[in-house]
Amino acid sequence: MALPALVLGVAALAWAAHAALFSPYATVVGVPVDQPVPFSHQHHVGELGIDCRYCHGGVETSGFAGFPATETCMTCHSQIWRDAPMLEPVRQSWATGKPLRWKRVNDLPDYVYFDHSIHVQKGVACVSCHGRVDQMPLTAKAHDLHMRWCLDCHRTPDHRTQPSDQVFVMSDPPPAKQAPTAHGTRMEDCSLCHR
């Protein structure tokens, strides 16, 4: 009598574990993360038109896109909105030399290897992976970053790359296709991403 109930319980638990691991809630797609300063890409990118590389300087040359140093914010905010309470943490950080602690929005598990520079150089646009950042008042994740998501593109990468001048442009569906890129045949090898 107790057994069927138990089996049911186990099934329910397994389902819950699966749901917790794979639902968008576990990885919070579309839900902004609370940051020390309410930084807005919509404002800085969408309205002011500042290039991604002004703040994410590593994205073309290294695996890590990087976060802007406090000096970068101060370049403008030493003059603009210099008394705004919202920017107090920035001024504090500048005065004390303690970096701002941005919370991670996209964060792969440590057992996955990822590199921005190769994607950027091969013409995968920021928008393909991060969505319309220029419309985000607060930054949120655009995709779940599960293995399946990476592989979906790695199976047909040619259809997802663009000319190099389009990589930093924020516009809806990735526009024009480019001629097929010369990519290796290792695109789905486990060791590509699990090193």
Partner 1 sequence: MRQVARILRVVFFMASLMVFPCCRRDLADQQHHEPMEASSVFPDGSASRTPPEHTLARGQLHEDVLFYQGKMGGDHAAVFPAPVTRAQLERGRERYDIFCSVCHGSAGVGDGIVVQRGFPPPPSLHLDRLRDAPPGYFFEVITQGRGLMYPYGSRVEAADRWAIIAYIRALQLSRHATLADLNAEQRKKLEDSAHE
Task: Name residues contacting partner 1, limited to 26-85 (CB under 8 A).
Answer: 48-51, 53-54, 57, 64, 66-67, 69, 71-72, 74-76, 78-80
Q: Write out the binding residues for ligand HEC, residues 47-86 only, by CB under 6 A.
A: 48, 50, 52, 54-56, 59, 64-65, 67-68, 72-73, 75-77, 80-81, 86
From candidates 146, 155, 171, 175, binder to ligand HEC by CB under 6 A: 146
SS (H, E, C) 112-181: CCCCHHHHHHCCCCHHHHHCCHHHCCCCCECCCCCHHHHHHHHHCHHHHCCCHHHCCCCCCCCCCCCCCC
Nearest CB to ligand HEC, comparing residues 11 and 155:
155
Other beta carbons within 10 angstroms of residue 125's beta carbon come to 22
Residues 95-134 that bind ligand HEC (CB under 6 A): 102, 104-109, 112-116, 118-120, 122, 124, 126, 128-130, 133-134
Range 13-32, binding ligand HEC (CB under 6 A): none
Q: Coil, strand or helix: which one is 80?
A: coil
Residue with tokens 């950042």: 133
Decide: is 13 part of the binding site for partner 1 (CB under 8 A): yes
Q: Which stretch binds ligand HEC (CB under 6 A): 8-16, 37-45, 91-99?
A: 37-45
Q: Which helix (H) or strand (E) holds 25?
A: helix 24-27
CA distance 32 to 172: 20
Choice between 28 and 50, CB closer to ligand HEC: 50
Q: Which two tokens stand for residue 13?
A: 């638990």
